Amino acid sequence: MTWGEGVAGLAAGKPSESEIEAERRGWYELTSLVHSLEPDEIVQPGYYTDPDWSIADLVAHVGTWLAEAGMQLQRIAAGTYVHEEIDVDARNAELRAAMGDQPWGVIHSQAEASRSRMLKAWYELPERTPEAEWWVAKAGPEHYSEHVDRLREWVAILKARR
């Protein structure tokens, strides 16, 4: 299904059941891997090497993009969205700095809340737009899949060290 196609029973702007299911599967795959670890493993650096991210840093990264997407989808729905070119690397650095050295509980709560906000904003869109499609892809299922293979590897390494 493409963004422009209607689905029986759904308004033109709403995601289809398959799109919602893809997001849900991706989120739960990512979070089940994280929740399979001990608290000290979640905050241990080493997920990526430049910089040395912990799994908490990864969740903060995903959560901040979900927050950003939720805000942008709300702007799209309200008609106040202004398209701007985004330097993704610079924005990643800004979002990472915004989370600073937050404890795992704050990071986890922020990511969960941001996901809920993004899903609500996505579902409430009055119509599908290329901008909305980009934000959902940047923060949602496609973004999760960018990280899940490496996360799976790192979780296996951490568990093997036990």
Domain boundaries along the sequence of the chain: 21-156
CA distance 65 to 42: 19
pTM assigned to the model: 0.89
Token pair listed for 129: 């737009």
Q: What confidence tens digit (pLDDT) does each residue in 98-140 have?
A: 888 899 999 999 999 999 999 999 999 999 899 999 999 999 9
Dihedrals φ, ψ of 49, to 5°?
-105, -15
Q: What confidence tens digit (pLDDT) does each residue in 140-162 have?
A: 999 999 999 999 999 999 999 99
Return the number of other C-beta atoms located less than 10 Å from residue 35's C-beta: 10
Please confirm whether the linkage preceding 51 is cis (ω < 30° from 0). Answer: yes
CA distance 109 to 76: 25
pLDDT of residue 6: 40
Half-sphere exposure of 32 (CA within 13 A, CB side): 6
Q: Does residue 45 surpass a pLDDT of 60?
A: yes
* Residue owning tokens 């493409």: 2
CA distance 56 to 78: 33
Q: What confidence tens digit (pLDDT) does each residue in 81-106 have?
A: 999 999 989 988 898 888 888 999 99
CATH superfamily of 21-156: dinb family like domain (1.20.120.450)
